[in-house]
Amino acid sequence: MANSLKFIILIFLVQVGCKSVEKPSEVEPEIELIKENIIISEVKINAITRGHKEEVTVNSALYTFHSNSMNNTNKVRNTMTLTAKEWAIITEMISKIDLNQINSLKSPTENRMFDGDLATTISFISDEKTYTSSVFDKKTPPEELSEIVKYIYSLNEE
């Protein structure tokens, strides 16, 4: 009797132990789905140095570029319609970026420290949160952001 009771308890413990091992694998896909459901509605780039400021705003419909020197002698405002293909390219690039880590990315250069380049940040805006990068040089963004920053600026050159 005592042996059969021990056997039943052992079977029970093994089943409980196996179920707790199965649960993390069931939870992981949910975490991935949550990550994939972040919908970015707008991207902003702000770049500034002593005497010069640039702002770029991109959403699914518009691309806006503002550039302004301190004494307003070289003021540029450019607004254009963004195509669905261009926005799709941007959203594809965003999907490759870990938005929760962009505020801790290291800039490969520090030319902005002595006005050798514009101190730049990029922000990804969703309905719930704004993800803003750490400061980097405009011409040499961190590798993780390089593709999207260069692409967004290239739209103004077209």
Residue 26's pLDDT is 47
Residue 22's pLDDT is 47
Give the H/E segment covering residue 144.
Answer: helix 143-157
Mean per-residue pLDDT, 33-45: 76
- CA-CA distance, 138 to 117, in Å (whole number)? 6
Percent of the chain with pLDDT over 90: 55
Q: What is the pLDDT of residues 54-103, one digit of tens each?
A: 999 999 999 999 998 877 666 788 899 999 999 999 999 999 999 999 99
Mean per-residue pLDDT, 8-37: 52
Residue 100's pLDDT is 93
Domain 40-157 has CATH 3.30.1560.10: yes
Give the H/E segment covering residue 68.
Answer: strand 62-69
- CA-CA distance, 4 to 9, in Å (whole number)? 9
Domain ranges in the chain are: 40-157
Torsion angle defined by CA atoms of residues 81, 87, 88 and 93, in that order, rounded to the nearest 10 degrees: 150
